[in-house]
A = this chain, B = another copy of it.
Amino acid sequence: MTYNHRIQYYETDKMAVVHHSNYIRWFEEARIAFLESIGINFSEWEKQGFSSPVVSLGCRYLRPMLFGETASIQILVRSLTAAKLEFEYQVTNPDGVLCCTGTSTHCFCGSSGQPVLLKRENPSDWNLLKAAEEPLPV
């Protein structure tokens, strides 16, 4: 899926480019939209006591992005196990130039914060994610 984010003035810094912390926020925007696009409602997860906290992040900044540009964030599920979910992100500018790449890894937690297996607790959503998985070619 490709998620579009219009870059806001308040996302720039005194180098006149997007501050690097904002890409991490766009990844979150893209995740929520991606889950929705495959039929998973994140707010519904939270009502059921689920959460899916970030356990690790990686980000490479290739080119600065500017106020007023629309960032296109391509997101995919790189891997899913019973307990862990990994996303990949590619951010391009309006000229199609790759500006940033990233990954995020997530675990699944239950209502008291304990780790749970999504596959067991919510097999239907796990199946939706599994169907979307695009593993790296061996």
Contact = CB atoms under 8 A, between A and B. Distances in A.
B56 A61 contact: yes
Interface in A31-84: 32, 42-43, 46, 51, 53-61, 64, 67-68
Contacts of A13: 9-10, 12-14
A121 interface: no
A42 B68 CA distance: 9
A29 interface: yes
Copies of this chain: 4
Contact of A57 (B14, B58, B68): B58
A25 B6 CA distance: 13
A64 to B, nearest CB: 8
A114 to B, nearest CB: 13
